[in-house]
Amino acid sequence: MTLIEARQLPTVLTVEQGGRLFGLSRSAAYEAVARGELPVIRFGRRMVVPTARVLSMLGLDAAEAAADAS
């Protein structure tokens, strides 16, 4: 993923989208959430993955991505 592509991501991702950034299948992504390996924010039964945390885990800073895309 390039920094420009990272900048175009929404603020939060679905668990499936967040897992895909790590090369995980849908079921593996949910298992990673259950183990606490993939960060999520819970709203009732809905779970979303914060993009900034995922980019940080991948070594891409969200602010850096925004600056490089300008």
More reliable by pLDDT, 63 or 44: 44
Domain count, the chain: 1
SS3 11: coil
Range of the domain at 45: 3-69
pLDDT in tens, 1-59: 677 787 789 999 999 999 999 999 999 999 999 999 999 999 999 999 999 999 999 88
68, 3 in Cβ contact below 8 A? yes
Distance CA 1, CA 47 (A): 23
pTM for the whole structure:
0.79
